[in-house]
Chain A
């Protein structure tokens, strides 16, 4: 369900001439316009979370413009600048506000660039998982029978294993199959594939169960009666009505995907250290924790924690706002 403002929705409602559309749009209108927006305005912590999330997204998106240096360009780096503490500590350097790591990369710049990679992997894998899960869920729910049984059995089996374990296994197998070629370039896709494949089940189950409810409603029967193609019914008619919960899952899964990426990178099987993500930075810094260079680990750690917390808060609020029983 796209997030639409009041004016847009009204315009769309007016533009949509057919009665079936009016009914559907006005449902969306009433949900978005009244309840969700007002509960958003009521909750201060949600507004704070939204602002923080926006700031981090903004910083990540415009990292090349904001960051003091480009930490991914070896030409900019000098080993003389390595392991400089943050500005306020003794020995700090004004060029590097938050200090540098072992290769002379400024932590602040690496943070901005790193959260870019973390967010990119997070979004890409959520989208991948959502598309896969929604398609399979629609198919299972709408077609039913043997298709349903096979898809849901696979989902059941996968659900018994924690996502991180599946991601690790897929990651290891993929890297084994690729044989170490192009490790730097393939790392991103390997991660997206591994994380995406380990998160599709939740979408499939949710979409399937709502599809089961929707498919017996009159509008679907009507669409079937006028002879629409099943795929068209699924995508055009059923899908919009089962998207509400999907949005909640996607928001919460974004936080999970970011955590998973960070974890895999921390474990040394994710993004390589040449272009570190937040997790890779924490891994690099972990080796220096005991020799007193705490800033290499702590800043990316705090950044990761804040990002995940903010996204989780947004997800929590969205879930409560969409669940009328909790109000």
Chain B
């Protein structure tokens, strides 16, 4: 396989970055189109905003004001323009600006997601390495069984089980809410109070368990795959110590997919927070979104879609770029196979 060197490499890297940026913009545009179609064509925004006693003339006037009489492409451009400025319209249900509502709920969701991801990584990687190295040990079998259960059980069921054991029976942990939060002005955090941390434990485990099992299984299968390769055999033949082979050669080479998956899973965690937040009445964006789906509150739904899409696209972009730096083989093919 040819290796790029010097200027050629920089050029292909730059081309790759530009290509990826362009793709991300395209994805955002398509998602924005979907959000716009939802926003405009599902239900009549005017009907949702006015009372029953509003006259037809007033409705027409409002329609004019909202720009609903403009040609659709212009409406779309205006929609994107407003979205870029952070204006996602007014919630049908709560009659408040959607951007403000999401802003209030963002810290709760991000805090929960970050703690869950951390939990998944810290527990998942060592478990994966262990089960790969000691394939037939008893503990490995327990880990694998638990991981199968973790993948099989739906998130909400795990949450309910935890609540049943630790909140209803043992009464150790609270079953709902964030506990006491500290307002930092631009951010509210539950990490600084003991009731906040207590309230975080069960939701974080519920949310992170699936990712933990995923990371564990991934690390395990990658390790097994790598341990079979010729360069590991060669390293053994050279008489290197097991520790050096396992951690210096094998684990290092398994980390590329782990980085990718963990990065991509970050988005999934934020999306799956919808379920966890519902089970634990965690006052985050997910709960807001779910209530919006139940009430068909389209402005919140489309704003959430746009925001999540943006988050995903950014995460994907970062993962892709990281990937290039970690794995030199991708630089040649430009990432597309």
Interface residues of A (CB under 8 A from B): 157, 160-162, 164-165, 168-169, 171-173, 175-177, 179, 255, 259, 262-263, 266-269, 282, 286, 289-290, 294, 297-298, 301, 304-305, 308-309, 312-313, 316
Asked if A169 contacts B290 (CB within 8 A), the reply is no
Bound Cα distance A294, B271 (Å): 29
Q: Which of A161, A173, A304 is most buried by chain B, counting CB atoms within 10 A of its CB?
A: A173
Q: Which residue of B lies closest to A312 (CB)?
A: B152
Supplied contacts A157-B31, A162-B268, A176-B42, 18 more A-B pairs, CB within 8 Å: A160-B312, A161-B267, A164-B274, A165-B271, A169-B293, A169-B305, A173-B38, A176-B38, A179-B43, A267-B274, A267-B294, A282-B156, A286-B160, A294-B164, A301-B157, A304-B157, A305-B149, A305-B152
**A-B residue pairs, 8 tightest by C-beta:** A172-B293, A176-B296, A176-B42, A309-B152, A165-B271, A162-B271, A259-B154, A162-B268
Asked whether A160 lies within 8 Å of B27 as measured between CB atoms, the reply is: yes
- B316 contacts A160, CB within 8 Å? yes
A-B contact pairs, 24 of them (CB 8 A): A160-B27, A160-B316, A161-B267, A162-B267, A162-B268, A165-B308, A168-B274, A175-B296, A176-B38, A176-B296, A262-B156, A263-B154, A267-B156, A267-B274, A267-B275, A268-B290, A282-B156, A282-B157, A282-B160, A289-B163, A294-B168, A298-B164, A301-B157, A312-B152
Do residues A161 and B309 form an inter-chain contact, with CB atoms below 8 A? Answer: yes
On whether the beta carbons of B275 and A164 are closer than 8 Å, the reply is yes
Given contacts A173-B38, A176-B298, contact A162 B293 (CB under 8 A): no
Query: What number of A-B contacts does a CB cutoff of 8 Å give?
Result: 109
B161 to chain A: which residues have CB within 8 Å? 301
Q: What DSSP secondary structure best describes chain B's contact surface?
A: helix
Chain A contacts for B175, CB-based, 8 A = 290
- A305 vs B274: C-alpha distance when bound (angstroms): 20
How far is it, in angstroms, between the C-alpha of A161 and the C-alpha of B175 when the chains are bound?
Answer: 29
Whole-angstrom distance between the Cβ of A169 and the nearest chain B Cβ: 6
Q: Are B290 and A290 in contact (CB under 8 A)?
A: no
A308 to B155, CA, bound (A): 13
B152 and A267 form a contact (CB under 8 A): no
Say yes or no: is B76 at the interface (Cβ < 8 Å to chain A): no
**Min CB–CB distance A268 → chain B (angstroms):** 6
Cα(A95)–Cα(B175), bound, Å: 34
Question: In the complex, A268 Cα to B289 Cα: how many Å?
Answer: 13
